[in-house]
Amino acid sequence: MKEKTWKLVWNVACVLALLTAGIVLTGCDLLSGITPTLPPDRAPTGVTASLGQFETEIRVTWFPVERATSYRVFRADSREGEYELVGSESSLVYIDRVGGANQGRMYWYKVEACNAAGCSPKSAAAAGYAGYPPAPTNVRATDRQYPDKIVISWDPVPGATLYQVFRDRFPDGTFGTVVGQVETTSIEDTSAAVGLNYWYRVRACHATGCSALSQPASGRR
Alpha helices in the chain (DSSP H): 3-21
Tell me, yes or no, whether 108 and 171 share the same domain: no
Contacts (Cβ under 8 Å, ≥6 apart) of 213: 135, 166, 175, 201, 202, 203
Tell me, yes or no, whether 151 and 178 share the same domain: yes
Query: Is residue 43 situated within a structural domain?
Result: no
Q: What whole-number distance in Å separates Cα of residue 204 and Cα of residue 185?
A: 10
Query: Is residue 39 situated within a structural domain?
Result: no
Tell me, yes or no, whether 147 and 180 share the same domain: yes
Residue-level pLDDT at 1: 47
Tell me, yes or no, whether 98 and 144 share the same domain: no
pLDDT digits (tens, 9 = 90+) for 5-24: 545 444 555 555 544 554 44
Residue-level pLDDT at 16: 55
- Average of pLDDT values for 203-209? 94
Residue 129 in contact with residue 83, Cβ under 8 Å? Answer: no
Query: Is residue 4 situated within a structural domain?
Result: yes
Tell me, yes or no, whether 108 and 175 share the same domain: no
Over 80: is that where the pLDDT of 199 sits? yes
Between 15-29, 37-51, 62-76, 133-147, the lowest mean confidence (pLDDT) is in 15-29
pLDDT digits (tens, 9 = 90+) for 132-171: 999 999 999 999 999 999 999 999 999 999 999 999 999 9
Tell me, yes or no, whether 100 and 151 share the same domain: no
CATH of the domain at 90: 2.60.40.10
Position 37 confidence tier, pLDDT thresholds 50, 70, 90: confident
Query: Is residue 41 situated within a structural domain?
Result: no
Tell me, yes or no, whether 75 and 52 share the same domain: yes
Query: Is residue 122 situated within a structural domain?
Result: yes
Query: Is residue 26 situated within a structural domain?
Result: yes
Residue 217 in contact with residue 153, Cβ under 8 Å? Answer: no
Tell me, yes or no, whether 150 and 124 share the same domain: no
Residue-level pLDDT at 110: 98
The structure's pTM equals 0.78
Query: Is residue 42 situated within a structural domain?
Result: no
Angle, vertex CA 149, rays to CA 146 and CA 152, nearest 5: 95
Tell me, yes or no, whether 64 and 88 share the same domain: yes
Residue-level pLDDT at 208: 87
Total number of domains in the chain: 3
